[in-house]
Amino acid sequence: MKIASGAAKGLEYLHDVADPQIIYTDFKASNILLDEDFNPKLSDFGLAKLGLTGGKEYVSVKEPFQPNNLI
């Protein structure tokens, strides 16, 4: 349950709290990495999109996030 709860908190942060909002579109088990304490980290932001911008359009992320940018 710790892994599922942590992954959900990561998605909530990206979708509701982050500014700009990030739409994480590739949520699956293989994109959830675990640290040494089994805390989940979301990875693979290649298909992520920035949320609504000033022009109220969704924008695809052009540069993939690096592993040090895990949530």
Of the pLDDT bands very low, low, confident and very high (cuts 50, 70, 90), residue 15 is confident
Please tell me the pTM assigned to this model: 0.65
Question: Which amino acids are annotated catalytic?
Answer: 26
Contact 20, 51 (CB under 8 A): yes
Q: Which of 42, 58, 51, 48 is nearest to 9 (CA)?
A: 42
DSSP state for residue 13 in the 8-state scheme: I
Considering all CA atoms of the chain, what is the largest pairwise distance in Å, rounded to the nearest integer? 42
CATH pick for 2-59 out of 3.40.190.10, 1.10.510.10, 3.40.50.300, 3.50.50.60 = 1.10.510.10
CA 42 to CA 27: how far, in whole Å? 8
Q: Tens digit of pLDDT for each residue in 43-60?
A: 877 667 777 666 555 555
Domain extents for the chain? 2-59
